[in-house]
Amino acid sequence: MTDSFDASVMTPEMAAAMAPRAVVAGHISITDVERFFPDARLFTVLRDPVDRCLSWYYYARVFPNTDHADVAAAHALGVEDFFAADRAVTFRNIFNRQVRQLGDHVLNTDVDMDAALARAKEVLARCVWIGRQERLDADSVRLGQVFPQMAGVRLGTLNVTPGRPAAREISPELRAAVAAHNRYDMELYAFAESLIAEAERPALHRRAV
């Protein structure tokens, strides 16, 4: 069976409830994984950092709950002004969120980003499978190679906000503003793509032979 987990600090009680599950999925920070599930086989799905942040902004604008400062700011500000906002506003969901989750704890506001990036790369190198939301159908083929019981399974994309511009459609100025919040995530995403290319290379070679 599968269990899911929202971004929070995992407690021993939460971990005990998840322990019988075959798969636990969700916004789980690596510090919680290593504390409670040190022998777990890891796999993850990453997303292009600029596309992820744009999607989050447009999702937040229609999300009714404005208790968080970043959601309230998304309601109040146009997209250019939002991505020009101070890090105190954008930190929770925009600022290098993937590195913070894979290299530290996503709720740690005192995170050392250089150390988190190095750790996130180590975590990715340990993953038995890495997917990219933008290429999930193709990457799911490799998932079936790693887990034969999942052969033929196609993972659906989540958190896709309809009716918003794609990353390729925004202005260079806006792209630069979004990227400025995600320097570490962009380096991690490029590293993930290099790992995926390496994982796919033997399969390509076997087909050529």
Alpha carbon distance 49, 185 (integer Å): 6
Reported as a single tens digit per residue, the pLDDT across 124-166 is 999 999 999 999 888 888 888 887 877 766 666 655 666 788 8
pTM for this prediction: 0.87
Give residue-wise pLDDT tens across range 180-195: 999 999 999 999 999 9
- The whole-angstrom separation of Cα 73 and Cα 159 is 19
Nearest to 53 by CA among 167, 191, 187: 167
